[in-house]
């Protein structure tokens, strides 16, 4: 009996030691991913015609920055699940705790369009793949808007990862947008030649593709496990919607079947797009190839 107890104790100690070693490896691997630096070029001017008004429309309507960084741009808690991560959306203003005082336009631009901080580390969660398609004018406009914000004094500490978050990063299940952008051969050229082209541009910089997939066929591509899968926006599921149905769904948050859209779908921000913009998106959606639901 005594021997048996000793044996059990050995096994238990062995398992704890193994778990500790495993966790140690996880911490090292996830820290290495978080600390990995991408070579950053020296600040260069952001070329493009800047309009604060256009920047405000992008921040508050088209690109949903407001959802995470707040109406005042001061950021705050975004994910607060210690097992996963405690993550703040940073304070983007020039107030105390904000990046604005230290950031040159090029630093903002690198963060927004490439997903990389001034120190070369890569941003998590921030949907920079979507914003990588911003035209120079739109990038310059968002930056001009950020600079126009009143300073907010709010400290927004860097991410603190829990074991689940570390696991997801170490196993590349929580990818960095910076890497996705780097791996992409040809970023979509910003055009506004036809209505459908402009709609395509808006579906990317409007973050629709981050949640509904590059091919817009939906599925569970972003967000916490409890969020519903994003809908299929290709003509398969969408065939008999009229432009009016589409506009009503996105402005009232209720689709033609009477289904109330989950709050994870940011229709309260999207509804601030102009009718022209929403119609351009609808026009584009009718041109994308049909696809079965759920593979992005």
Query: Contacts with ligand HEC in 7-36 (CB under 6 A)?
Result: none
- Least separation in angstroms between CB 225 and ligand HEC: 12
Cα 153 to Cα 1, 47, 119, 121, 128, distances in angstroms: 65, 30, 22, 24, 25
- Least separation in angstroms between CB 181 and ligand HEC: 14
- Least separation in angstroms between CB 253 and ligand HEC: 9
Of 269, 270, 267, 272, give the one whose Cα is nearest residue 255.
267
Comparison of 7 and 264: residue with beta carbon closer to ligand HEC = 264
Window contacting ligand HEC (CB under 6 A); options: 10-18, 43-51, 177-185, 200-208: 200-208
- What does the block give as tokens for 295? 């593979």
HSE at residue 162, side-chain half, CA atoms within 13 A, is 10
Question: Helices 243-252 and 275-285 sit at what angle, rounded to 10 degrees?
Answer: 120
By the rule CB under 6 A, 132 interacts with ligand HEC: no
By the rule CB under 6 A, 111 interacts with ligand HEC: yes
Binding-site member from 33, 85, 126, 140 for ligand HEC (CB under 6 A): 126
Q: String of b and e for 72-92 (b: at least 16 CB within 10 Å)? A: bbbbeebbeeeebbbbbbbbb
Residues 6 or more apart in contact with residue 177 via CB below 8 angstroms:
115, 122, 123, 126, 127, 128, 129, 132
Beta-strand pair 160-161/76-81: unpaired
By the rule CB under 6 A, 86 interacts with ligand HEC: no
Q: Are 216 and 130 in contact (CB under 8 A)?
A: no
By the rule CB under 6 A, 266 interacts with ligand HEC: yes
Binding-site member from 85, 123, 140, 181 for ligand HEC (CB under 6 A): 123
Binding-site member from 54, 57, 84, 131 for ligand HEC (CB under 6 A): 131
The structure tokens 């959606």 sit at 285
Comparison of 110 and 167: residue with beta carbon closer to ligand HEC = 110
Comparison of 27 and 106: residue with beta carbon closer to ligand HEC = 106
Q: What is the Cα–Cα distance from 250 to 64, expressed in whole angstroms?
A: 14
- What does the block give as tokens for 126? 């921030």
By the rule CB under 6 A, 255 interacts with ligand HEC: yes
By the rule CB under 6 A, 69 interacts with ligand HEC: yes
Window contacting ligand HEC (CB under 6 A); options: 3-11, 63-71, 164-172, 286-294: 63-71
By the rule CB under 6 A, 211 interacts with ligand HEC: yes
By the rule CB under 6 A, 90 interacts with ligand HEC: yes
By the rule CB under 6 A, 288 interacts with ligand HEC: no
By the rule CB under 6 A, 65 interacts with ligand HEC: yes
Q: What share of the chain is helix, strand, coil (3-state, %, to 5)?
A: 45, 5, 45
Please report, as ranges, the residues that interact with ligand HEC according to CB under 6 A. 59, 63-65, 67-69, 78, 87, 89-90, 92, 99, 108, 111-112, 117, 123-127, 131, 142, 158-159, 206-208, 210-212, 222-223, 227-228, 230-231, 233, 249-250, 255, 259, 261-262, 264-266, 270, 281
């Amino acid at each position: 009996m005594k021997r048996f107890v000793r044996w059990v104790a050995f096994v238990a100690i062995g398992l704890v030691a193994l778990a500790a070693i495993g966790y140690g490896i996880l911490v090292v691997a996830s820290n290495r991913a978080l600390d990995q630096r991408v070579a950053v070029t020296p600040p260069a001017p952001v070329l493009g015609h800047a309009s604060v008004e256009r920047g405000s429309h992008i921040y508050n309507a088209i690109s949903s920055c407001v959802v995470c960084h707040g109406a005042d741009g001061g950021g705050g808690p975004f994910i607060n699940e210690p097992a996963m991560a405690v993550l703040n959306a940073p304070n983007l203003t020039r107030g105390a705790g904000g990046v604005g005082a230290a950031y040159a336009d090029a630093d903002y631009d690198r963060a927004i369009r490439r997903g990389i901080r001034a120190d070369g580390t890569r941003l998590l969660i921030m949907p920079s793949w979507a914003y990588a398609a911003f035209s120079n004018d739109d990038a310059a406009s968002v930056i001009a808007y950020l600079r126009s914000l009143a300073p907010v004094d709010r400290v927004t500490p860097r991410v603190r990862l829990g074991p689940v978050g570390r696991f997801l990063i170490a196993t590349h299940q929580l990818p960095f947008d910076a890497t996705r952008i780097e791996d992409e051969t040809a970023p979509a050229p910003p055009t506004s030649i036809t209505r459908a082209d402009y709609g395509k541009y808006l579906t990317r910089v409007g973050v629709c593709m981050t949640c509904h997939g590059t091919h817009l066929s939906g599925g569970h591509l972003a967000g916490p496990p409890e969020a519903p899968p994003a809908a299929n926006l290709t003509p398969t599921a969408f065939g008999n919607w009229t432009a009016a149905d589409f506009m009503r769904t996105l402005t009232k948050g209720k689709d033609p079947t009477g289904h109330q859209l989950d709050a994870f779908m940011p229709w309260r921000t999207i509804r601030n797009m102009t009718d022209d913009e929403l119609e351009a998106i609808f026009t584009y959606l009718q041109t994308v190839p049909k696809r079965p639901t759920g593979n992005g």
